[in-house]
Structure 1
Amino acid sequence: MLPYPALHASHGGTWIADGEGTRAVGRAEAVRLVADTPTIVLNAPVIGQRLGHADLSGLDLLELFAFVRPAVFAVPTPKGLAEALGLPVPSDDREVAAFLRDAVDAMLDLLATDWPEREGAWHAAQSLFRLRWTWGPAVTQRLAKPERAERWLFAKLPEWAEEPPRAAPRTVTLPPDEVASRLTRLTGAGAEQRSGQAAYATAATAAFAPRAMRDTPNLVLAEAGTGIGKTLGYLAPASLWSERADGAVWVSTYTKALQRQLNHETRRLYPDADERKRRVVTRKGRENYLCLLNLEDALQGGFQGRAAILAQLVARWAAYSADGDMVGGDLPGWLPTLFRRNGSTALTDRRGECIYAGCPHYRKCFIERAARASAQASIVVANHALVMVNAARGRESATRPTRYVFDEGHHLFDAADAMFSAALTGAEAIELRRWITGPEGTARGRRRGLAARLSDVASYDEEGGRAITDAVEAARALPSDGWLQRLNEGAPFGPVEALLAAVRGLTYARAAGDEDAGYALETELAEPTPQLVEAAAPAAAALDALLRPLVVLGRRLEAVLADAPDWMDAAARARIEGAIASIGWRTETVAAWLALIARIGGPASADFVDWLAVDRAEGREWDVGLHRHWLDPTRPFADTVLRQAHGALVTSATLTAGGDWDVAEARVGAPHLLSPPQHFAAPSPFDYAGRARVLIVTDVKRGDLPALANAYARLIVAAGGGTLGLFTAIRRLRAVHARVADRLAREGLPLHAQHVDPIDTGTLVDIFRDDPRSSLLGTDALRDGVDVPGESLRLVVMEGVPWPKPSVLHAARRLAGGGSAYDDRIVRARLAQAFGRLIRRADDTGAFVLLSAAMPSRLLSAFPEGTPIARMTLEEAQTAVRTLSSAGPIRHGAEA
């Protein structure tokens, strides 16, 4: 056993365990101990927050677990770690500190065995020891040097192989009886037959029929209530069509939780792991995957201090990862948070700097492997954003899917809104400058500008070389480092910074809000001041001077490909094709900026909503700029995605959200197609009348934070935990958490909170799911993306009616969409999604509580038909929740 004490801190107290036993200590004593003595902790950022010492560090067990068991899932709590290591779970908080010492022994003992992740560990341990990793001495002492040389990361990763182009899918028609037979196989021969699921599968089959006319897909809108089994319902015809037509079906989601669920459900389709890996591929945007070149740079000195340690642990994970996905894949979501902001985002391709075949790791690239695997797959699990990006930017046109399933289809509007918008801001402009010019001044790093990336092309093609030089020179008119400070000081440099300065001044002058409150400000782009009009012309000229050489360069690169010079092998061709795609994306961006600038002083467009904004967080400005969104973003979605498809199924449990099919059609772009869609609806089979209640609390005054916090605390205690608390404002969430966390801890009820705990959202949900006595507070991401069936979630509490934020964009859409009726549709959809978190299985029971006396009766149609709804006082609601709660006698567990 290591001769170090272990520390555990929760909202209920602080304990230290050493060779003499366990004792309770005060927070100040605990902080002094950690400062003076190497101390074992579990999740140092969380412990530090609870002790009021954000920079607390120690021997973090999670770091040791990430080294010993990379790519292995573990909930980052005492209970979760105990289960992952096969140790007894501590029964209460006092026992946790001693357990931490036992967990250390278990993991260090593992180092003396031939455990599954042994390969590469010795090499990584030596590097981590040199970096002064706190666990370095203990690990290197116990880890013997292997008898044979280890295959480390870059030698261990397999190379992807080039495949011949896949033929276009065959034209097939799916017989209904065969679809029904496939569904029976997926659900299991002895499973109870659900008529709603069978009808759903039959309706979904229409999306896979041969289309009759060009630009006219077979569109099916299907609303299936929770419990219908829609995932298997659409996988039945999708998998059958894929086999018969030899084509890929892209199943697109909005949340990572549903992606994980889909990957689990496809085990029914392909029980054999190797076949499933070949037939089912998960695709995400490039920014989600580990970039091996960025990682190599970090390992070779590009990262320093704690960031370098993170890079080594990520390298350990990458050697065992299934797909290299750093966001929602098998990288523990808690690992980057242990290092706060030290480097995890720099390990992905977030800036679009990929050099494609010019990269020495191109043949092992996780991104390229996923792209090629998806071209040969049967089912591709993607997300709405990636589907739209690929379609809008012409990516992978040779393997463009003809059949889509858009699950969580109620989010298509929001995804299209984000994808097809434009923003000329300081942050966006400086990113473009860096992409073109590369490092400037004393800047270091792997970042390479256009000239470095395309040096061989410049030497071969004289006109292309001049275009690169002109683009680099023109990019110097864009904002550079320190631009925001210069704007604050009234000393902008260059025409684009001058435009942003005018935008900032007009926004502060006209924004309808408290400019001293520290929150974002915005104002519509109307009746611009002379200063803004005067700044527009020079900025437009500067952007035009940048756009022209980029257009020329794109054309010259296409000509170089056509001429196929002697030096161009397959790798060089792939690199230039990648450069063409990247330049095309930037060209479209600059063209959109020019169109936005042209709006200044010009006529408004009926298709777009334009406004000025100063983005701020907690009183600190971080961006300034002009914004443009489509009034109806489903129009470009329909044009770029739906029209090109042969068939699409759009499905959700809340597609109409208590409205009608006209509402659903408008939210997914159906009115912009030549033929109307088919409709299908199946209500949930759950007994909402007997197993759920909606309680509207009438005596919690709006704006009274102490009363709001008191309501949350009393309701959580009444339910015995298992509560999901939803907020519409981060500020109120934090205020409530600060008031009730210690109070609940004294009741043995752990409380976690998004935007408070230094833990990523996915991990927070894992912790919540793992402990039936815990509760979780959060905002929109939890309202839409939480799937926690069973006793871990038996109460949902919303702070009030989730009215949409009164922004410039919302005001324009509200005017076009029917005024208050438009607001009502949004609120009903949000309420339906929030209520949908409560009952996930037929045996779930619980209450949905809305703390709003002003809840309009017209919005109650958001809840499933037959659900009992009652208005009552907080005391009455507390009694009702206690009665309804199905928690029963649950053993008190240790808080995370």
Structure 2
Amino acid sequence: MLSGKSAVPQLRAEDVFGEEGLLAKAFRGHEWRPQQLAMAEGVERALAAKQHLIAEAGTGVGKSFAYLVPAILHALRAEKPVLVATNTIVLQEQLVGKDIPALQKIMPVKFTAALAKGRGQYLCGPRLRLAVEQPELAFEDDPGPVTGKIAAWYREGGICDRTSAPFAIPEDVWSKVCCDDSCTPASRKERPCHYHLARKRLHAAQVVVANHALLAIDLKVRASGGKLLPDAAAVVIDEAHAFEKVALDQMGLEYRRRPGQRLLAEIQSDRRSSGILRKFSDPRAALRLVGEARDLEAKFFLELDRWAAAHGRRTESGDPLEAVLRVREPGAWTDAAAKSLENLGQELRELIPEAKPKEVAEELSRLSTRCDQRADSLRALLEPAPETVTWVERSGRGGWELRRVPVEAGPTLQKTLFVKDRPAVLTSATLSTGHADFDGIRARLGAGEVEAISVGSPFDFEQQATLVVARAMPTPLQSAEWTAALPAKILKYLRRSDGRALVLFTSFVTMRKIHERVAAEWDRPILVQGAGMTRDKMIAEMKRAPGTVVFGVESFWHGVDVPGEALENVIVTKLPFPNPSEPLTEARHELIKKRGGSPFKELDLPAAILMFRQGFGRLIRTRTDKGIVVVLDSRIAWKSYGRRFLDALPPCRVEYDDEP
């Protein structure tokens, strides 16, 4: 086994992925896939030339091996880690728990891997000590024995992150003992924070695995001169079709009521005598400011609720129809809450010199910083900002909260992701809109003229998949007729596959309405997104119980991997065009028109084709899978753009349903 830069062998992709390569020798029954070799060679060339690459690889290619092997060799030669970012925990677990260990066994080089997590996932020793020794300062309610269990776990040694805890830790407890922005190496010299211990491991690894959100935050921080992740020899973004949305979320701002309530409760609870101010003999000024901030925060969110009630529509039952409402003049609201939070933060800083023990002073500093950050966020949200869009959205508790994101991620990513001398490889099964057309993904991610390659799937879709087009259906533009026809068609195809189906919708309202009608005539339970069961549990139940039917919206169109007989039918109720009234889509339409373009051609159609390809891809996950994809939107048959959807799919059998 070789190690060190000088000992890295001159392995080529052919040596690993060829018909007589390392994979063929290491795995009994290994099936050679020319598509995997082609992708690996493309990644190999890009990394050697320090050039960026977009690599689309169909289902079954084995793309994680295809990028990991050249990336690992590149990292060893550069003596810097390679960063691999994924969107889902499932893929992270696959990389760290399966794929990388397999390559460590068969590759003739030594390398290590580490999983990067956000600082909030790690335990902070000093904050834990404060919570254990003086729980009245940290908790509104008695946390019970859990803090003692956490302390015992901490004393066992090793790096403590939340997912490795041998017991469940409630969120309200974890938030009081985890690392946060105030935790720096300098402030933890005596008792190092586990986040910073974990970061040292990242710097020693050749492969660092993270999620999209952490990468996006790192890019944002680097734009200001800082960094969260190690300097990398290359960046690989898997599941890259989802990266734009995550990047926009991290570039944006939000102002939510629950974080403010938790912050003020940590300073001084309004329900019982708890909070950091209990440690001081005369905190009257701070107590007054806490009360003022609490009142002004409540007033601000009451104003949001009233604004939403005045501008939103209602269902027949009186519930808000829209989950989001665009705000064109956020400056109409007052920033009094921001001023109050700033005053409170300053007052907390003035208490620091008399704070004892040291942990109390550090907690005061942390809380004052959070007050300032929250004030800055609100003030920024209330100021006009070019090429951004602001909206209010309903929270899980029924109230409304404020958010803003840039209209485009591309201009920022062009400067932060696609940089010189650090190649970025973006890969997914669905990045083009068919016929190797990558213009859309290039524009959205700021990729400019980045080279793109596409390798197809090794699966035989003509034998494994049948596309059923219900071309006699009313179109969704005939809303009442289409909605009335959906239940019977869905039931028809559920009976054909004996359940074992994923039914995809573009609207929660439509999904719930159709579920009521289908469930009345279907003799088995139907799992419905948003009805209490998490997405992961719904997918697990589908695998466990034959015949399970799942109704889902956007998050079920991608990332669902249910191989075998458990899923033999994917029903697409409607072509997934973006909702034109959704604030970000509306703002993008306006920007495209301003530039003289066509929103439908440049945004709506490409986005719908990519989502449609994602939905289709839920069906065939292995060489032995078989089934049908049913499209209940007849526009795919009759509209001129319908051919674009069909051409974007792999060749498969097509069946037409001409029954009304």
- Pick the TM interval, shorter chain: 0.7 to 0.9
Conserved? CA contact 1:692–1:868, under 8 Å: yes
Q: 1:320 to 1:197 in 2, by over 3 A?
A: farther
* Residues in 1 aligned to 2:48 and 2:610: alpha-carbon distance in whole angstroms: 31
Give the CA deviation at 1:787: 1.4
Q: CA deviation at 1:793?
A: 1.6
Per-residue deviation, 1:243: 2.7
Q: Which runs of 5+ in 2 are unaligned?
A: 593-597
Q: Does 1:205 align with 2:3?
A: no
Task: Give 1:546-695 correspondences, 5 Å limit.
Answer: 549=346, 590-599=375-384, 605=386, 607-611=387-391, 613=392, 615=394, 621-625=398-402, 627-643=403-419, 646-658=422-434, 660-671=437-448, 676-695=449-468
Q: Distance in 2 between matches of 1:315 and 1:708?
A: 56
> Does 2:415 match 1:415?
no
**Partner SS, residue 536 of structure 1:** coil
Equivalent residue for 1:722? 500
Contact 1:832–1:862 (CA under 8 A) maintained in structure 2: no
Q: What is the aligned partner in structure 2 of residue 192 from structure 1?
A: 31
Aligned residues: 618
Whole-Å separation in 1 of the counterparts to 2:72 and 2:150: 35
1:537 offset after TM fit, Å? 6.1
| Distance in 1 (alpha carbons) for counterparts of 2:60 and 2:380 | 47
What TM-score, normalized to structure 1?
0.59
% same residue = 22
1:866 to 639, 651, 658: 651
1:249 counterpart residue number = 82
In structure 2, relative to structure 1, the CA distance for the partners of 1:397 and 1:408 (3 Å cut) is closer
Matched, 1:517 2:517: no
Conservation of the 8 A alpha-carbon contact between 1:507 and 1:521 = no
Cα drift, residue 720 of structure 1:
2.3
Find the counterpart in structure 2 of residue 181 from structure 1: 15
Alignment of 1:334-483 (within 5 A): 343-344=170-171, 346-347=173-174, 352=180, 365=194, 367-393=195-221, 396=227, 399-431=230-262, 433=264, 438-443=267-272, 477-478=292-293, 480=294
SS, match of residue 787 in structure 1 = coil
Tell me how far apart the structure 2 counterparts of residues 873 and 444 of structure 1 sit (CA, whole Å): 70
1:764 and 2:538 correspond: yes
**CA shift at 1:636, angstroms?**
2.6
8 Å CA contact retained: 1:251, 1:380: yes
CA shift, 1:848, in A, is: 0.8
Contact residue 716 and residue 723 of structure 1 kept, 8 A: yes
The 10-residue stretch of structure 1 (346-355 or 388-397) with the greater mean CA deviation from structure 2: 346-355
- CA radius of gyration, larger in: 1
Aligned pair 1:792/2:566, yes or no?
yes
Cα gap change, 1:711 to 1:647, in 2 (>3 Å): same
- Relative to 1, partners in 2 of residues 1:244 and 1:582: Cα closer, same or farther, differing over 3 Å? farther
Whole-Å separation in 1 of the counterparts to 2:615 and 2:155:
39
Going from structure 1 to structure 2, the CA distance change for 1:361 and 1:418 (only over 3 Å counts) comes to: farther
Residues in 2 aligned to 1:287 and 1:791: alpha-carbon distance in whole angstroms: 40
Tell me the amino acid that sits aligned with residue 666 of structure 1.
A
Aligned Cα root-mean-square deviation (Å): 4.9
Structure 1 residue 410: deviation in Å?
A: 1.1
Q: Deviations over 1:30-62 (max 9, x none)?
A: xxxxxxxxxxxxxxxxxxxxxxxxxxxxxxxxx
Structure 2: distance between partners of 1:432 and 1:316: 27
Please say if residues 236 and 425 of structure 2, whose CA atoms lie closer than 8 Å, have aligned partners that are also in contact: yes
- Superposed displacement of residue 392, structure 1: 2.2
Aligned positions of 1:742-821 closer than 5 A: 744=522, 746=523, 751-756=526-531, 758-805=532-579, 806-817=581-592, 818-821=598-601
Deviation at 1:679, TM superposition (A): 1.7
User: CA separation in 2, counterparts of 1:861 and 1:585?
Assistant: 51
Partner of 1:458: none
Q: Which AA in structure 1 matches 2:427? A: T
Partner of 2:114: helix, strand, or coil?
Answer: strand
What letter is aligned with 1:820? F
Does the aligned pair in 2 maintain the 1:388–1:637 contact within 8 Å? no
Q: Report the Cα distance in structure 2 between the residues aligned to 1:858 and 1:448, rounded to whole angstroms.
A: 64
| Cα distance in structure 2, aligned partners of 1:361 and 1:741 | 61
Give matches, 1:14-25, under 5 Å.
none
CA contact (8 A) 2:221 2:227 kept: no
Match of 2:92 in 1: 259
Q: Secondary structure at the match of 2:36?
A: helix
Once the two structures are superposed, residues 760-817 of structure 1 have per-residue CA deviations (whole angstroms, 9 ceiling, x without a partner) of 3223222222344333332222221211222222111122222323212210112334
- Structure-2 separation of matches of 1:320 and 1:739: 55
Consecutive unaligned residues in structure 1, runs of 5 or more? 1-168, 212-217, 337-341, 456-467, 481-492, 561-566, 876-896
Secondary structure at the counterpart of residue 693 of structure 1: strand
Cα distance change on mapping 1:359 and 1:794 into 2, 3 Å: farther
Mapping 1:110-121, distance limit 5 Å: none
Mean Cα deviation higher: 694-703 or 716-725: 694-703
Distance 1:792 1:681 in 2: 29
Alignment partners' CA distance in 2, 1:360 and 1:173: 37
Residues 719 and 795 in structure 1, CA contact (< 8 A), matched pair in contact too? yes
Give the residue type in structure 2 aligned to 1:440. S
Change (3 A) 1:361 1:409: farther
What's the offset of the Cα at 1:260?
2.2
Q: Do the aligned partners of residues 579 and 444 (structure 1) sit closer, same or farther apart at CA in structure 2, a change above 3 Å counting?
A: closer
Q: Deviations over 1:554-594 (max 9, x none)?
A: 9xx9xx9xxxxxx99xx99xx97x99999878756644432
For residues 4-83 of structure 1, the aligned pairs below 5 Å read none
